Structure 1
């Protein structure tokens, strides 16, 4: 028998409300580390309770199911699933791979305790509303997270960063790179993106000297020779690239950043590639409407034409 208090309690409804407003308003009006993590914080609390309501036999084991799903969702392994889903679903879904999001696992004891002690939920739950009245809005909020925008625009630099733009082309990585270079476009490794992605690996190479905080000297010590060797290897092995300038329609944009990955879900993976577009630099100080217009222009030209016609 389903326990309606799992989805009618004030904590669940509060988390659902925060999730909706954060994904559709706070993230973009008050962009920060906190708003970037807030959805994961409230999501990891409400998701196990929702699972237990839908599948009562799970009971508190729903916490472990939610944890496994969240880990999969936040990993690169879910990219192909998301790509296939977005091709057939009228409501597309998006997420950003960031393994620091897994820190929210520390909050899993909260839903575990509440599910195991459902009498506690009864004390602060709505009594006169049917559980299915909030089920549909809940599913809608979970599926429509961050749909209002799939990019971040910096008016100071003109940088347009895409949240989740990826597609497949019927070309190998080697063929694509050769065709880009044959058009006399300046193609280079996106070292800034590569180094940013290597922060964790770099941090593991050094060590902190706590005494240096008081006594002076280098707080973080690392062997420069080892660091250089590691970074050179990371750059050489990376598939992250940048085209310095490229003409799109009647405009020239700069620093088109993208990655080339194997297309594992293609019929012939060895002859296909997956392109992930990270961002591009457009005009500075554009208002929101112009950014939207420029985004659609770039999306249409780059995604549907440029890469496929190189």
Structure 2
């Protein structure tokens, strides 16, 4: 029997809902509400839509698609897949990353429901709309790709004693920062501050822990204590470039200090005129 592609199943309600759940969770909920639910939601939704999507193109092998998906998910979530992930990251130049957490395997419980739903939808007489099917199919493909490319953090922390002197009173500097950052209030007694800044060259960001004080001439002195939390992100659906990860791992102290100067110190007074500022005050310690 010919393995006829069932394009009409691309408009199945729960399938479309699964795609939307992955997108909303990965690009909003995980950051706005970081908890156990948002941590597992993409696994459940992803396991619902992925074998369903593959089975649309290989309906005769639907059961095999679901079993294979389950086995690969188990392999992917265990430490034994580390060498495989390293290999495909190197050969594709995309940094595939995942957290080893066996509790994620609970998401496998959604597979029988997805399979049953696929079989149920397969016998429903549906009309097929080329444009709608093309949009949903493309969106699903990129959703699956995006879900496998979260931000990757480099476990790197450098100590620094780099000092910058600004010809401005500390009070005025804090007034500028408070006006640029919604919900932020820095008082003159605050001296330990965390700056989040971007590293555009490698599509990454980092956090600098700095000490701020005034000298006898009322100039503001900014001294870096450390730079850490380097995180590389992908460009929406196109994943993380593995060379960016390797370059960030190899960044020297002087390079990180220069990125901090270029994307934070040099732009402290231009944020209001910049559509996409390259720094932000993360927190002030009182």
Distance in 2, matches of 1:142 and 1:297, equals: 21
Structure 2 residue 158 is the aligned partner of structure 1 residue 248: yes
Distance in 2, matches of 1:61 and 1:91, equals: 28
Structure 1 segment 140-179 matched on structure 2, within 5 A: 140-145=142-147, 147=149, 149-151=151-153
Distance in 1, matches of 2:32 and 2:124, equals: 33
1:20 equivalent in structure 2: 23
Structure 1 residue runs of 5 or longer lacking an equivalent are 152-161, 166-245, 253-283
Q: Which has the larger radius of gyration?
A: 2
1:138 equivalent in structure 2: 140
Q: 1:17 offset after TM fit, Å?
A: 1.4
Change (3 A) 1:76 1:96: same
Q: 1:113 offset after TM fit, Å?
A: 0.8
1:32 equivalent in structure 2: 35
Change (3 A) 1:148 1:63: closer
2:206 equivalent in structure 1: 293
Q: 1:289 offset after TM fit, Å?
A: 3.0
Q: How many aligned residue pairs are there?
A: 183
Distance in 2, matches of 1:122 and 1:285, equals: 62
1:304 equivalent in structure 2: 250
- Which of 49, 67, 72 aligns to 1:64? It is 67
2:97 equivalent in structure 1: 94
Q: 1:11 offset after TM fit, Å?
A: 1.1
Distance in 2, matches of 1:301 and 1:133, equals: 36
Do 1:82 and 1:94's aligned partners in 2 also have CA atoms closer than 8 Å?
Answer: yes
Q: TM-score, normalised by structure 2?
A: 0.53
Q: 1:147 offset after TM fit, Å?
A: 4.0
Change (3 A) 1:53 1:146: closer
Distance in 1, matches of 2:35 and 2:92, equals: 30
Taking only aligned residues, the RMSD between alpha carbons, in angstroms, comes to: 3.6
2:273 equivalent in structure 1: none
Do 2:6 and 2:57's aligned partners in 1 also have CA atoms closer than 8 Å?
Answer: no
Distance in 2, matches of 1:12 and 1:45, equals: 8
Structure 2 residue 109 is the aligned partner of structure 1 residue 106: yes
Q: TM-score, normalised by structure 1?
A: 0.50
Q: 1:15 offset after TM fit, Å?
A: 0.8
Residues 134-143 or 291-300, more deviating: 291-300
Change (3 A) 1:118 1:148: closer
Structure 1 segment 208-287 matched on structure 2, within 5 A: 248=158, 250=160, 286-287=194-195
Q: 1:82 offset after TM fit, Å?
A: 1.6
1:48 equivalent in structure 2: 51
Do 1:19 and 1:39's aligned partners in 2 also have CA atoms closer than 8 Å?
Answer: yes
Distance in 1, matches of 2:246 and 2:94, equals: 19
SS state of the match for residue 289, structure 1?
strand
Structure 2 residue runs of 5 or longer lacking an equivalent are 163-191, 199-203, 208-228, 233-244, 253-286
